[in-house]
Structure formats: C-alpha cells, structure tokens
Amino acid sequence: MEENSTTMTAHGARQLAILKTAGRYVVSLLTIAIAAAVGYLVLILASGTEFTVGPVHAEFALSPAWHGKSIFDLPPAGTIEADTHSGPAVVHYSLKEIVVTDVSELTNPESLSRQELQNWQQPVRSQVRSLLLRILLLSALAGGAICALIKRRWQWGIAGALTATLTAMLVAGIVWQTYDIGAFREPRYSGSLTYAPEVIAFSEETLANLDDYETRVPEIAESLYRTVSQLHQPPGALPERDTIRVVHVSDMHSSSAAAKLVRQTVDLYQADFVIDTGDLTDLGTPFEAGYPSTYLPLPKPYVWIGGNHDTPTITATMRAINGVTVLDSQFTDIDGVNIGGFPDPASVNLSPNPLNDAQLATDAARILKLVESQNPRPFIVAVHDPKQAALLPGSVPVVLNGHTHREGITVKDGTVFLDAGTTGSGGFRSFNGTAEAPSSLQVLYIKKNPLKMVAVDCISIYGYS
C-alpha cells in the first residue's frame, strides 16, 4: 500500500514537472510572439513621416492589413489605390501641399521647382534611411523592454529586442521587395477622382498634341479675329462708342490653353468685360487654386460664378483677385449693364457632384423670385446649369450658362439663351473621350441707349485631339 502510494506520488510529481515545463515553454513562446507583435506595431505606428521634394510637401504612413496595397490621398478630391505589394501593411501617401507661386513653375523645364522634382531620389532616399533607423531603434527598445518585464531577465530583454527588430525588418522587407509601381496601371478611384481617372492616364501623344495646341493659340485667335473683322460687322455698323463687347467663357476646367485663349480673345476683340459661368477647375482642389493666376487679373473686369466643379476654396481664391467680381445670387452693374449671377448650388460642396432635377427646380424658382424683385430687372442673368434658368424665359433679355459642354443659342419668349460650351475643351475628360470636344466661347455685342443685344460671335476651335 505504501509502495503504491509512493509510486502515485512520483507519477504526480512527474506530471506536475511536465506541466510546469510546458507552461514555461508556452510563456516563452507567448513572450516571443508579443515581441514580434510589438515590432510590427512599432513599424506601423512609427512609420508616419512628412517629406518635402522641391515644391511638393507630402506625408507617408503605414497601416495594418491582411493584404498589401497603396493608397494616394488627394484631399478633398478623393483617393487612388492599387494592389502594389504583398505583406500585411497598407502604404498611405497623402499630398499635403504644392508650394508654387505660379503654375508655370512646374511646367517650365528650367525652373528650380521642376529641377528639384526631377532630382527627387536623393532627398527621398535620405528620408527613408532616417525612417528605417528610427523604426529599428524603437522596435529594439520596445521589444526588449516588454520581454524583460515579462521574464525579468536581461537575456530575455536581448531576445525581445532582436525578435521585434527582425519582425519589423521582415515586414518592411516584404513590402519593399514585392512593391510594383506598375500596379497603378489598373488603379481604383474614390471621391471626386472617379470623375477624372484620366489624371493618371495621360498618354505621351495626348500631351504632345496639347503642347502643339497651346503654342498655336495666339495664331488661331488672331486669324479668327481677322476673318471676323473682314466678313462680319455688327448690324447697322454700330460705332465703337455705342457698342459693348462682352466675352462669355465657361467650363475652363484648369486648361492652360483656355487661359491663353481667353487673354488673347479679350485683347483682340477689345472686350469691355468678361463673364465666366463656372467650372473654372476640374476638381476644385487646393492644388488647382493656383490656376486662376495663370491668366488673371485681366485689364478688363471679370465677372465669375461658381460651377459644380468649383468649391469654396476656388471661390475664396477668385474673391482675392483684383478686378474679379464674384456673384453669389447678387447683382452688379458694369458699363451700364446690370448683371445677376447665380452659382451652381453644388459649388458649396467639396466634390463636383451635380444636383438632381428636383434640387435644380427649387433653385430655378428662387432665382426667378430674386430676378423679379429687381427694379430695373437685370439685362443679363448668368447661371452655370441651364436648368437653373428654366423659369426665366420672358423675364430678362439674356441668359448665359455653361455646364453642358455644347455651345449654342436658343430664343424662348424673347429671352436669348447663350451656352458658351466648354472653353477648356472639357478638361481632363476630353483626353480619353471618343468625340472631339472643341474649345468654345462667345462674344456678345450690346448696343447702348437703350440696351439691346444685336449680335453674337460663337467661337469654336478644334485642336486637342
């Protein structure tokens, strides 16, 4: 009996020893796993860094994920993403600012900003080296501290530091070695960028055609003006002192060629002022806020209303330019011509989403009420979307609009509706479109005393494709 009891006691002791040993192994494995997790978390949390390359200021960061991809954040326009790599991390790039005093700085090959961008490798590599050293150091310190705290032995502190560092290096190495920038040939878009995937898909042939078109803008405009001067005179051969010339532009969509065309037309036609019916930019981003300065201010007054592709950022930019009058459901008088301006209601948003028909009908009723409250009523009403002017036939002499990208003239109940089309040839969308979109604008001839529109020159130039 005693021998039996002694045997059972020895067996129990062995089992207890085995359990203790297994427990120690489990704790050791868990400690190593914790160190590896710490290394991964440090890699993610410490990866955020900002860098500057020439005029471009951007931010880089990692976030945890089961499958790797890259995301370019272009606030407020949206994001572009692609499956660029393997590894449990998402690579985030965020464009913070482009610091240029003039957009031409980036298009001029001789400019300092352009040269700094072309030599981007050195500053980026320097930033990457500093970032990796920081991550490895933090991983070692954090992993070592956690393991030493759990096991309370300095040897485990060293093991934890090595484990955390190797984990961070392994994940970073997988991302680096499998990264394929070519994955952006098949990107995915979100936000406003879904309206303009062509931002990345420009072809060399298209850019070459655009450059050729831009260099020919002055020649085209001058030839056009000479032809008009020879073949067409305003009815009744009105003397210059009795005629007001108004240039109507719309939907320029950040086109540098359109900017040159507007300046040239104002000069050659000796325009008295310009009315722009919106969509000055493509996405309304802060990065497009420098576009107006490529052709403004003009030597003549410039009246502007926002389109659905414009945003509060662009509106604020236009308000700050000398000679520009921004109309927000307001009225102004230029050279004796009373003008009412009503922006697209969507211009208060941060993305170019047009309103539905019901919302536009509500705005049309509001505009009619404001117009009828004026005494005298405006001679010209400028809107962006023609649906905003649906109730104006018979109420005013002239209505100007854009938005449709189709230049045209219609008359309803004595009111002349003038659609400028798209002075910017449709912006980004024109490059990959199947139909050729012309750059178009209009010149109105208005007789003084009493005011009466007597003629309109409709100008369309094909040249982008």
pLDDT in tens, 341-387: 999 999 988 766 778 899 999 999 999 999 999 999 999 999 999 99
pLDDT of 183 over the 50 cut:
yes
Look at the chain and report how many structural domains it folds into.
2
Higher pLDDT, 149 or 374: 374
Specify whether 181 is located in the same domain as 206. Answer: no
- The residue from 162, 195, 228 where one domain ends is 195
- The residue from 168, 195, 222 where one domain ends is 195
Among 76, 9, 21, 65, which residue's Cα sits nearest to residue 40?
Answer: 65
Specify whether 451 is located in the same domain as 343. Answer: yes
Specify whether 207 is located in the same domain as 226. Answer: yes
* Highest mean predicted confidence (pLDDT) among 50-54, 131-135, 425-429, 444-448: 444-448
Specify whether 173 is located in the same domain as 211. Answer: no
pLDDT of 146 over the 90 cut:
no
Stretch among 15-19, 60-64, 309-313, 428-432 having the lowest mean pLDDT:
428-432
Share of the chain above pLDDT 70, in %: 72
Specify whether 182 is located in the same domain as 213. Answer: no
CATH code at position 216 = 3.60.21.10
pLDDT (0 to 100) of residue 17: 64
pLDDT (0 to 100) of residue 205: 42
Full 3-state SS string of the chain: CHHHHHHHHHHHHHHHHHHHHHHHHHHHHHHHHHHHHHHHHHHHHCCCEEEEECCEEEEEEEEECCCCEEEEEECCCEEEEECCCCCCEEEEEEEEEECCCCCHHHHCCCCHHHHHHHCCHHHHHHHHHHHHHHHHHHHHHHHHHHHHHHHCCHHHHHHHHHHHHHHHHHHHHHHHHHCCHHHHHCCEEEEHHHHCHHHCCCCHHHHHHHHHHHHHHHHHHHHHHHHHHHHCCCCCCCCHHHEEEEEEECCCCCCHHHHHHHHHHHHHCCCCEEEECCCCCCCCCHHHCCHHHHCCCCCCCEEECCCCCCCHHHHHHHHCCCCEEECCCEEEEECCEEEEEECCHHHHCCCCCCCCHHHHHHHHHHHHHHHHCCCCCCCEEEECCHHHHCCCCCCCCEEEECCCCCCEEEEECCEEEEECCCCCCCHHHHCCCCCCCCEEEEEEEEECCCCEEEEEEEEEECCCC
pLDDT of 44 over the 50 cut:
yes
Specify whether 191 is located in the same domain as 207. Answer: no
Specify whether 186 is located in the same domain as 258. Answer: no
pLDDT tens digits for range 24-43:
777 778 888 888 888 888 88
Cis-peptide, bond into residue 64, ω within 30° of zero:
no
pLDDT tens digits for range 210-259:
455 555 555 555 555 554 454 444 444 455 678 999 999 999 998 888 89
pLDDT of 447 over the 50 cut:
yes
pLDDT (0 to 100) of residue 359: 93
Specify whether 403 is located in the same domain as 441. Answer: yes
User: Which pLDDT band, with edges at 50, 70 and 90, does 207 fall under?
Assistant: very low
- The residue from 195, 225, 260 where one domain ends is 195
Q: Please state the rounded mean pLDDT for residues 431-440.
A: 61
Specify whether 294 is located in the same domain as 159. Answer: no
Q: Please state the rounded mean pLDDT for residues 305-316.
A: 92
Q: Model-level pTM? A: 0.60
Stretch among 4-8, 272-276, 279-283, 428-432 having the lowest mean pLDDT:
428-432
pLDDT (0 to 100) of residue 206: 42
Stretch among 54-63, 81-90, 450-459 having the lowest mean pLDDT:
54-63
Q: Please state the rounded mean pLDDT for residues 100-119.
A: 55
pLDDT of 116 over the 70 cut:
no
Determine the structural domain holding residue 348 and report its residue range. 202-461
pLDDT (0 to 100) of residue 145: 87
Specify whether 187 is located in the same domain as 274. Answer: no
User: Which pLDDT band, with edges at 50, 70 and 90, does 396 fall under?
Assistant: very high
pLDDT of 5 over the 60 cut:
no
User: Which pLDDT band, with edges at 50, 70 and 90, does 8 fall under?
Assistant: low
**Sign of the torsion angle spanned by Cα atoms 214, 218, 223, 226:** positive
Specify whether 237 is located in the same domain as 179. Answer: no
**What does the mean pLDDT of the chain come to?**
79
Specify whether 181 is located in the same domain as 217. Answer: no
